[in-house]
A and B are shown apart, each in its own frame.
Chain A
Amino acid sequence: MATKLENTLISKANRHVTINPPKMCQPIGAMYATLGIDKAVPLVQGSQGCCTYVRYQFNRHFKEPVNIAVTSFHEDAAVFGGRRNLIEGIRNLIFRYAPKVIGVVTTCSSETIGDDIEAFIKEAYKKVREELGDEVAQSVFVVPIHTPSYAGTHVKGYDTATISYIKYFAKSKEPNQKLYIIPGMINPGDIEEVKHLLNLMGIEYSVLFDISKTLNSPLMPPKPLYPEGGTPWQELEDCANGKAILALCPHAGGSGASYLESEFGVKSILGPFPVGVENTDKFVKNVALVCGIEIPEEVKVERGLLLDAMADTCQYTMLRRAAVFGDPDIVIAVTRFLCELGMDVKVVETATPSSTFADEIKKIFDEYNIEGEILVDSDLYEFEYLAKEAGVEVILGNSKAVEVAKSVKCPVVRIGFPVYDRVGYFRYGITGYKGSIWLLDLIVNTILDYSYPHDKLHQ
């Protein structure tokens, strides 16, 4: 999909330097997953910045306090290794916070010097046993997660965390009838919408790494030490006996699901991320098929409401030029939805390296007869240039899109993580039929606000 450019350096493929990268590090993905487990604390084995920067992202996106501990690498640790830091870190963390699960998230520096995390954890257990007794040592699970950020992005980090946790916990026992779900790096609202659909269908399910309550908690003093509502570790143990496991985002969580299938024979379904008509249809059908149930009337009604909303607004969305960037699975799903709305998708980008992304988008483009640019492992500099060139009228992406939109001179519809320049986006899900209606309203209202004369009422 090469374009003819005057300056060859605009294309990311022709240069070494990355300009305004929209991708984050592996540790943040691993922490995202860890925060969805009940009474779990991520322990970052690295410099303080690796924790501080990530906490900023969480704080500003979710407007919540986030418990993330760090082993505080100083120069000595960087030279002699982080053994003392990790052992003392685990001991101090148990002292102060009495967590059930500690996810040891490694960073670039710790991986570069080759810290033997597994051995350190064993030593830490020994120390805890000596100081605090057997009972305490046995009540804590310390899970190593290897996430050097020079070997992938936040999406890979989440994926690594899911497989690390499932490998650590999953145990074969009595089979149960549950459907397990790995949501991926999506918002609390998105998970709520998925749960809403599953509740309508009346099936037994459990969401692993469920941040829907831990990162959207009520103000009810006194504040509990840990927010209520994460996935209990027992569920992670039990997922080996479930009926099926569904990874909503194959890039983020797919390996965990595949591992469960190959190791325990739990049927795994990868994707699609349920946004828009076709993807949600697929999701509902998959669930109904696995659980052997009929699709209930209520779900059909919700589908009808989405179609109604699409019919009512197609005059505003038809052939409107759009550009999307973000995490691969979310972008694939949103692109399909935009095509369903009749929009002309001009540029699609993910900064995460992916072998399937380009093919998936190509498939959608062919289906809807669209010719757009597909960028994989690219940056916002190229995205901005192509969006400007194509004269897009709306950009969908996270808060990093704001600067791009200023130069392209078009509005932004905020999706994905992180959104820190507006409030509330984590509350409203874009998944399921209901969530898609909300996303549709958001897109149309943004277009109306920006592109239509103020002296006209659009009723």
Chain B
Amino acid sequence: MINFTSKQDEKWCIEMVIKAFLDQRQGHIKQSGIPQCSRPTIPGVMSQRACTYYGARWVLAPVRNSTHIVHAPVDCAYYGQNVRKKNYLILSTDMNEKDVIFGAHEKLERCIEEAAKIFPEHSLIFVYSTCTSSQIGEDIKWVVERVKEKVQKPVIPVEVPGFGGFSQSDGHHIAQRAIISYLSGYCRKESTKPFSVNIIGEYNVAGETLVIKKLLEKIGIKVICSYTGDCDADLMQESVTAALNLLVCKSSGLLLAQFMREKYSIPFVDVSFYGLSNTINSLKKISKFFGIEHKVEMVISEEYEKIKDRLEKYKKKIFSKKAVILLGGSRIGFMAGAFKEAGLEICVCGSQFGCNIDYEAARFELPSALFIDDFNCAEIEEILLRIKPDVFIGGTREWYLAHKFGIPFLVLPQETKPYACFEGFLNMCEDLSKEIHAPVWRLI
């Protein structure tokens, strides 16, 4: 139970905590079946969800050679500059009180013109509108239409008011639509390149795009564009000539994949490069599409041979350790599979913004784990105290909380090494065993 400071507090607070759990959150916490998801967050809890704008930045920030202008008070730009532990150039209209009262479309127009002058080498401009500019009714689409001619390059509006959805996953969708509007406006398909693919929903968090690219090249397949881990305007132009799309993250890529299937008749397959069986299955799927099955078997055994010995060593160290995983949307499905393969026993699995499909995929892997949708700090604390896992896997915001309970933590997105494909799986097992067996946990 939670440790309270005074006896009296303890008594009523425990009751209240439990009551609050049952009243509003019952449907979101499930031992069997799928929890309620994609619902509004309850006010007053310390939810781990973020806003729509955050989701859009998550997808669009890595697009190279593009100018990003945030039409909002300055803070949205400040926070949005840093995405996945990397800094990106960001511009802001820095709305002030006067702009909020009288409107700021003229300012935005001037800002876009100035940005085009200052960064002539950028071939694309994204204009975001967030809470405040949406509330005062700034019509950024209209401004964009007016200014397009003057700046002589594509300007894409991205309307992402933070309240415009329940979590960041709505932002992922809007960002995809922004990419779609660029593709449909400026990219025409003339030919199809044989043995070429795009990867959709892969963000090169720790250099993963490179690892996947290398693996695919081994079986003779070229990656044109990785949305948006390795992406710029030219690559996007070229991407419509691919023969196949590989969909890694559904939450941030499904719309785009569907669009490319319809408009450019590029089919897509669901793939995942986390965990050995996921990677092998994905490779098989891809090779079947291109009719190159013979090559794949060889590559698989060759790659596995490389990591086999070291992998066994690490797997022994993490075998049947109890784990809690709290990750974003579609990660829970394939990551759960990868962690299970590594030998972890997963008791709790949760997501901030998972949808039904994500939970179904995760449930398939973990038939009896406790599932939590839109988990919050109080619940994490309860879980850590009751279940006492050997390792906790999640994001930056839960990291230090777990440490305060003396529980090892593996943070995703990871620090330096890629976790994708064969060598990535080895990295993951190595990191897990490092975290779990750090002497500090024994010294507490």
A78 adjacent to chain B (CB < 8 Å): yes
Choose, from A9-17, A239-247, A434-442, A446-454, the stretch at the interface: A9-17
In the complex, the answer to whether A53 meets B79 with C-beta atoms within 8 Å is: yes
Q: From residue A385, how far is it (CB to closest CB) to chain B in Å?
A: 11
* Alpha-carbon distance A98/B118, docked complex (angstroms): 52
Choose, from A194-202, A217-225, A283-291, A356-364, the stretch at the interface: A217-225
Known contacts A48-B51, A72-B47, A74-B163: does B132 contact A108 (CB below 8 Å)? yes
Residue interface bits B103-135, CB-to-A below 8 A is 1, else 0: 000010011001101100000000000011011
Which has the most chain B C-beta neighbours within 10 Å: A47, A49, A136, A221? A49
Q: Which of B9, B74, B110 contacts A16 (CB 8 A)?
A: B110
In the complex, the answer to whether A67 meets B46 with C-beta atoms within 8 Å is: yes
Choose, from B13-21, B202-210, B294-302, B309-317, the stretch at the interface: B13-21
A24 adjacent to chain B (CB < 8 Å): yes
B238 adjacent to chain A (CB < 8 Å): no
In the complex, the answer to whether B51 meets A96 with C-beta atoms within 8 Å is: no
Contacts of B269 in A (CB 8 A): none
Residue interface bits A86-128, CB-to-B below 8 A is 1, else 0: 1011111101111000000001110011000000000000000
A23 adjacent to chain B (CB < 8 Å): yes
In the complex, the answer to whether B73 meets A56 with C-beta atoms within 8 Å is: no
Q: Which of A25, A43, A97, A219 contacts B378 (CB 8 A)?
A: A97
Contacts of A69 in B (CB 8 A): 44-46
Contacts of B381 in A (CB 8 A): 223
Which has the most chain B C-beta neighbours within 10 Å: A9, A78, A136? A78
In the complex, the answer to whether B377 meets A67 with C-beta atoms within 8 Å is: yes
Q: Which of B17, B79, B405 contacts A221 (CB 8 A)?
A: B405
* Alpha-carbon distance A402/B47, docked complex (angstroms): 31
A278 adjacent to chain B (CB < 8 Å): no
Known contacts A63-B400, A74-B163: does B93 contact A18 (CB below 8 Å)? yes
A383 adjacent to chain B (CB < 8 Å): no
Q: Which of B74, B166, B378 contacts A149 (CB 8 A)?
A: B74
Known contacts A46-B131, A49-B53: does B404 contact A23 (CB below 8 Å)? no
* Alpha-carbon distance A72/B44, docked complex (angstroms): 8
B438 adjacent to chain A (CB < 8 Å): no
In the complex, the answer to whether A151 meets B162 with C-beta atoms within 8 Å is: no
Residue interface bits B46-58, CB-to-A below 8 A is 1, else 0: 1111111110000
In the complex, the answer to whether B46 meets A70 with C-beta atoms within 8 Å is: yes
Contacts of A132 in B (CB 8 A): 12, 16
* Alpha-carbon distance A151/B97, docked complex (angstroms): 6
* Alpha-carbon distance A67/B378, docked complex (angstroms): 10
In the complex, the answer to whether A149 meets B75 with C-beta atoms within 8 Å is: yes
Which has the most chain A C-beta neighbours within 10 Å: B16, B95, B114? B16
In the complex, the answer to whether A403 meets B75 with C-beta atoms within 8 Å is: no
B399 adjacent to chain A (CB < 8 Å): yes
Q: Which of B73, B92, B111, B114 contacts A108 (CB 8 A)?
A: B73
Residue total for B at the interface (Cβ-Cβ under 8 A): 82
A21 adjacent to chain B (CB < 8 Å): yes
Choose, from B28-36, B83-91, B184-192, B273-281, the stretch at the interface: B83-91
Contacts of A97 in B (CB 8 A): 378
A68 adjacent to chain B (CB < 8 Å): yes
In the complex, the answer to whether A25 meets B17 with C-beta atoms within 8 Å is: no
B308 adjacent to chain A (CB < 8 Å): no
A188 adjacent to chain B (CB < 8 Å): no
Contacts of B81 in A (CB 8 A): 20, 400
* Alpha-carbon distance A87/B4, docked complex (angstroms): 25
Contacts of B343 in A (CB 8 A): none
A169 adjacent to chain B (CB < 8 Å): no
A346 adjacent to chain B (CB < 8 Å): no
In the complex, the answer to whether B73 meets A53 with C-beta atoms within 8 Å is: no
Contacts of A217 in B (CB 8 A): 404
A19 adjacent to chain B (CB < 8 Å): yes
Contacts of A47 in B (CB 8 A): 51, 131, 161-163
B69 adjacent to chain A (CB < 8 Å): yes
* Alpha-carbon distance A381/B92, docked complex (angstroms): 12
* Alpha-carbon distance A180/B96, docked complex (angstroms): 34
Known contacts A53-B54, A89-B44: does B406 contact A221 (CB below 8 Å)? yes
A264 adjacent to chain B (CB < 8 Å): no
Q: From residue A388, how far is it (CB to closest CB) to chain B in Å?
A: 15
14 A–B pairs (Cβ distance < 8 Å), ordered by A: A18-B91, A18-B92, A43-B44, A48-B50, A59-B396, A69-B46, A72-B40, A78-B163, A89-B43, A93-B44, A109-B161, A148-B97, A225-B3, A381-B118
Interface set of A (CB-CB < 8 Å, partner B): 7, 9, 15-25, 27-28, 39, 43, 46-57, 59-60, 63-65, 67-75, 77-78, 84-86, 88-93, 95-98, 107-109, 112-113, 132, 136, 148-151, 153, 217, 219-226, 381, 400, 402-403
11 additional A-B pairs beyond A17-B69, A109-B135, beta carbons within 8 Å, are: A24-B78, A52-B49, A53-B79, A67-B46, A73-B162, A96-B45, A107-B131, A112-B135, A150-B132, A219-B444, A221-B404
Closest 7 CB pairs between A and B?
A49-B51, A25-B75, A89-B44, A47-B162, A92-B44, A89-B43, A65-B401
